[in-house]
Amino acid sequence: MTVLSLDLGPRLSNQNLYRAHTGDTICLQRCPELKGIQLNLKCTNPVGEEILLRQDADRAYFTLSSGGPYRVTWHIVVNPLPLNWTSVSMVTILADPVLTSTNSGPSLTIDQIAAQSHLTKCCGEVQRWGDVFRVSVESGYNTIHLTPVQELGISKSSYSLHSHHKISSSLNLNSGGGYEEDLEMLSRHLQDIHNKTGLFFLTDVVWNHVSICNREILSHPESYYNLYNTPNLIPAYLIDRSIHEFGNAQDNITDVQDLSSFEIKLRNHLLGTAQTLEKLYKIDLNKVLDVKKSTEASLCESQLNKKDINDLIKALWLVNYKEPEYAGDIDVGILRKFLEQRGVTSEPDQNSKISAAICHFNDVEVPTIVDQILNKVISAVMGTVKYRFLDEHGPKLSFGNVPIVDRYFHVSDITFTEELALDIYRKEDAQRIKTCNGWTAGESVSDMNSTMAYTNREVVIWGDSVKLRYGDRREDSPWLWDYMTKYTCDMASLFHGFRIDNCHNTPLHVGEELLRAARHVQPQLYIVAELFTGSEERDCEIINRMGINSCIRELSQSHSPRHLGELIYHYGESKPCGSFIHNIPHGDVVHQPGDENIPLGDQTCTEDNTPQLSLGSSRPHAMLMDQTHDNPCPFDQHPLPNVLALSGLMCAAKCSIGSNRGYDELVPHHIHVVEEERLYQGWSQSDDEDLKPAKKALIKLHQRLEDKGYYETFVDQAREDVVIVTRHHPDTCSKVLVVVATSWSEDSSLTRNYTVSLPGENVKVLLETEILSPQTLPKHTNNKDYITGLSGVKIDVRENPLSSKMVTVSKPDEGNLDIDLLLTPGCVIAVEVEPPQSSKTALQYFNSYILCPEKFDKDLDKVFSTLDLLDLNYVLYRCNEEERVDGCGGVYHIPHHGNLTYAGIVGFLQVLETVTKNNDTGHPLCRNLCEGWWMADYTVNRLKKKNLKLGFFLEEIFFAVEAVPNYTRPKVFYKIISSVYSACLRQIRKLIPTMKTSVGNSWFVEQLVLTSVQLVGKVGDTGIPVLLQDKESVASLAAGLPHFSHGFMRCWGRDTFIALPGLLIKTGRLDVARDLVVGFARTLRYGLIPNLLSERGHRPRYNCRDAVWWWCRSVKLLYKHQPSILQESVYRLFYKDDSPVSPQTPFVCTVFDVITEVLQRHAAGITFREENAGRELDEHLLDPGFNMTAGVDPETGFIRGGSRHNCGTWMDKVGSSSQAGNKGIPATPRDGSAIELVAMGYQTVSWMAELFESGIGTTSVVNMKTGSTHKTVSYREWSEMIKENFEDKFWCSGGYYGNANGYYRDTLGSESGGDEKLRPNQTFAMVIAPELFKPSHMSEALKTIGTNLAGLVGMSTLSPEDADYQPYYDTGNHGNDYRTAHGFNYHQGPEWVWCMGFYLRAKLRDFQHLKKDNPDCMSDDEIGQYFATVLAPHRAMIASDPYRGLTELTNKGGQHCPNSCPTQAWSSGCLLEFLVELEQSEFSGS
């Protein structure tokens, strides 16, 4: 099974190529963003029919039943779409066909094809084809490529067809009937040859032109390009006619001086044509202003951004003049709209500016445009004239006997004048001006309405052919579509494949439709083409649209040995040595996770043990040819020995291969597709004194390499004139070296020695072939009737020789070889080398044990059964700082890459995931492994240091595979490490209950659960206080990695208890949750718990008011799962507020007592100055900021505290820039009653009241300070007080930001003036204490928050309408802006991810309220899709982040913030809380 990930990004486009092969089952697997999103999936097969997809939750399946393009489209059923999403996406999977014999003979995959091109007209009558093609069979070819078999036009060019519906009379079919009978007779002949020889047949299809003598098209003028249906060609015709008239009147050109004089005359002659062009191109001012244009004209963005009206007019003209109906007119409505947006509103003023601009265009721009055209035309004409009449390598034609240039237009029956050109519309005579077809490199001339190639004389014209016009749809030219569809289907019934002539100038929609029709007739149709776009991306687009299987690439056009090597590397290297690609005969598939629960590394299997492999983008597949039939003779560029060398390199490549008839016979001239009239020799006429025996041996070698499984390729430019192509067997690691000695330089014409040193044994020489004599071209006399080659050329061919003349092998030491080669010019040597015995043993172990899940995975599971989650934290993760603190030396460093993110195996797999996906065997990680097993040693030693059984187990594994060939080490290491990772996941699923529930089957939930393992571990210098005096350490929850990994920065009181419910309670890690709850309870002082710990909790800092309330919330949530938590003993560190750490006999209480104390201390009021206040404690905070207060408002019961000089909640940024003037100033004090603290206070006292009412506890009252006195208040009275006052005090009906949208105040009674700022903190309160909120108000507030604060992955910390809003956080900002210097805006606009969890939980409850009141307002599925869409960016983030977590914050719109901590505990924890709650709701979709 082959897996293709359905992505949102540009990867899935027609500019990427995804190849598989017939018979594959394709699994379409959603990328992280699309998991859970409702999609409408559709797949069409190569004939355009929709096929049925087998679908489950996140996957769809179908089978490639035939060759050609399968197009998968998916429509995202979400409204509105998230930012940067497109509603419809598409990807093409190109299935390689299999050429199948009709008589049960052998079939061919495309890499087995060895084709030979023939000019059909040179094959003669069909009765002699068997003899002609036997030459090909005896030369080793299995496929014949024929030029069109149709009747040729007057030029006798093989590609200028008199009629597509007439078989050439030269074939002498003697069918006794017409076209249909000829088809039947030709089919019988081809089938007979196929049955006798096994040959397959390809032919050219010609869709773009027909011979000028074709009479059928004359009655269908819409079917060819002429000046009536394409009037923008009028300038090209005028230029063409003028050049023709000029050329007929010129004297002979004999030297360069004549050429200079000729150019001057030509320029002067064209001046008259230039004046006509200016008349054509000018804008008719009166027509523009007289026409009343619609006021509905609209401007596109590119028009709106034009600098002035002059630029806009030029842009409109560049588009409009190419349109068939252009008559000097442009849309005045667009011009007026443009001027209106620039303040010119009156029509007279507009007319004045429009008139001036058009006059400027006509007087200045048009002459410039015409002058540019003439310069290009003259340059093109002079280049052609120089080549035709003067160049040393040109044809050196006789002046006067031929035109100076070829005509671009074929004119019949009329004289077409400039005057007629200026009034061409509706003149039917213009239909008789036929446009000739031609060829361009780069720019396509398939769209004649937009190209300037004809006007600029950039087309290599074929004067014997008329260019056909299909239009945009079948209705534009129905006769031509029907005519070509029948022709194409007829050829598909005769042949196994097509070569598309002039492919890149074929309109894509035409090629698509005609090939669909052909594949109806021949489902396994093989399509090959030459593409000259100059862009591999453009090539891929054409390949995908038409379903082209192979692109023809030619070696004889190479200009140096190095260029040859580059061609083989680029087109003949399907998979590099040591490839991560699965070892199958063809198709580019990469070992990647098939199991959606395994995000890193590992090939997995379906229930029926079918391997799941990921489809990777690949290069276009090549048919590599030593020579093509339409290019010059190789002897024009290469010495004789290189002819053998080119064939040797071609046959060493892993792709389709081919040659031209005549190459192997050493024909020393070009067999011209137009001029050649002689016949090929048959087998009965040929001899062996040419390249045929060598070619046969080389093609046999090519087939052997494919059949025996040598799928991996390495190309080495061993020395300037020696290219070595090494083909590796991925399983046995045997290799075949094909050594080719090219012959370009004088030095390379001599015999020389070369030594190849490599590990191995048992060398076998497969082939030696060399040219014995002569080394230079002998004289040749052409035969007048037959095409013949050089005679007297002796080529020695030795297959599997018992004694080699050119190879000597020695063993310098055990397991290594020196292969000494005697290289003669052009020789080809192929040797097979087996790996050393030690490598064979290691490979056998790898293949039979490591690759066997029943054995290796079973043993891994036994080892992992001894590991707990803290062990797994060590095995999988641990960042550099965590490692160094524990004396482990840090993470692994890869030269030329850098440090890994983690010391554990996720660090390696995070890099390997990209390496394997791209099959990047040249990555620094792979190079490091090839040079030594240091990564394995690092991993083993690190695990053994902790005395983990896994370390000793892996030591044995790596020892057993140590001797594998070094280039295979990356894939061996990858397979071992990815298997270990999979075993880790299996063990985690056993240990974490959440992973086993239905929600645990969700890919995203599982990734969030893994962050619990990632962030919880034992780190030596953590500040978490021990629970008991005899307990050395406990696990701690890092606030984030790598920023908050160790020391006093690791464990934050606030962060720990915001993240704890999600990462520890929801994952069932109640023991760790208990330890953290009790550990922080030990530090209670002043009625608060600290935000920062140091010296194992002995010197904590009590500078936050909210951490204790997050702690209380965590205790309440933990109590539901572990009621005994309230009675856990707490060994207090501080006996009194002002006492030092307690001595040996500490003060002991329970967790319940701590909560009681927290409530009483707040009720009584808290006031203190931080211990050790001053610059040593905080170098930035001003002195008043060290004075801390907290308490309760006796009128409302609201928790309150703080001042404008300090920050007591999570928005705790204090400025540090003296230059900008914000040093020591809190950016967001949030003093007074912060809304979430009020909610948590309410939740806590309400819960304590419930506990007392259920018989737990001995007291239910506090003494609350009321001014100078105290009053006794019960928990229940306190909670009711809060509830009664909350809505009245916090609801804000709008107006602060100038709008009427309501929301809840952020604080109450703040002396810093921030009460009515719109922030996300109200959503915390909605979740924590929803009973405080009026449902309608909460719904309105959530709409306001969603509109103003909801970002891509996080929540903006301040409304964009606020004057203090600054959404880009940068601690390196050393500017003068008070609002942003040194990151002062930390909580003034940047988007925090953890807040999104509370917002979504609030939205979930809001939906539940709405559904209760109005069940039909939204369907459950729609609500589920809303949440799935919102979380798509989070899924993408956790899948791609190097630390495999959710970041702390982003800048505006989800933009990456470089200062953000990559994986943050509360980001993962809060979203995990939401997802578990969603799963338990009616909107889960389960």
Name the nearest CA neighbour of 1028 among 1146, 1125, 1152, 1127.
1146
Amino acid at 1400: L
The continuous run of DSSP H or E covering 752 comes out as strand 752-759
Which residues neighbour 688 within 8 Å (Cβ) at sequence distance 6 or greater?
A: none
How far apart are alpha carbons 737 and 756 in whole angstroms?
Answer: 10
Amino acid at 113: I
How far apart are alpha carbons 31 and 118 in whole angstroms?
Answer: 48
Which residues neighbour 505 within 8 Å (Cβ) at sequence distance 6 or greater?
A: 208, 437, 439, 440, 444, 445, 446
User: What does the CA dihedral 564, 570, 575, 579 come to, rounded to 10 degrees?
Assistant: 100
How far apart are alpha carbons 1453 and 1352 in whole angstroms?
Answer: 5
Which of 21, 209, 410, 504 is labelled catalytic?
504
* Beta pairing, strands 1391-1392 & 1016-1017: unpaired
Name the nearest CA neighbour of 1064 among 978, 966, 991.
991
Question: What is the torsional sign of CA 1458, 1463, 1469, 1471?
Answer: positive
How far apart are alpha carbons 1472 and 1485 in whole angstroms?
Answer: 17
* Beta pairing, strands 1040-1041 & 735-741: unpaired
The residue behind tokens 């790898």 is 846
In angstroms and rounded to an integer, the radius of gyration of the C-alpha atoms of the chain is 40
3-state secondary structure 465-487: EEEECCCCCHHHCHHHHHHHHHH
Which of 24, 182, 630, 886 is labelled catalytic?
630
How far apart are alpha carbons 247 and 159 in whole angstroms?
Answer: 28
Cβ–Cβ < 8 Å for 1271, 1278: no
Cβ–Cβ < 8 Å for 734, 835: yes
Enter the tokens of residue 549: 């299987």
Residue 1270 annotated as catalytic: no
Residue 501 annotated as catalytic: yes
CA separation, residue 50 to residues 88, 89, 465, 670 (Å): 17, 16, 38, 47
Burial (Cβ within 10 Å: 0-12, 13-18, ≥19) of residue 595? middle
User: Between 1420-1430 and 1432-1440, two packed helices, what is the crossing angle to 10 degrees?
Assistant: 40
Which residues neighbour 474 within 8 Å (Cβ) at sequence distance 6 or greater?
A: 481, 513
Burial (Cβ within 10 Å: 0-12, 13-18, ≥19) of residue 1064? buried
Which of 58, 501, 588, 1212 is labelled catalytic?
501
Residue 595 annotated as catalytic: no
Which residues neighbour 813 within 8 Å (Cβ) at sequence distance 6 or greater?
A: none
Cβ–Cβ < 8 Å for 552, 735: no
Strand partners, 617: 18
Q: CA-based angle 330:334:335, to the nearest 5? A: 80
Helix (H, G, I), strand (E, B) or coil at 1037: strand
Q: CA-based angle 345:347:348, to the nearest 5? A: 115
Rounded to a whole number of angstroms, the distance between the first and last alpha carbons of the chain is: 27
CA separation, residue 1074 to residues 156, 254, 745 (Å): 92, 100, 80
Catalytic residues: 501, 504, 630
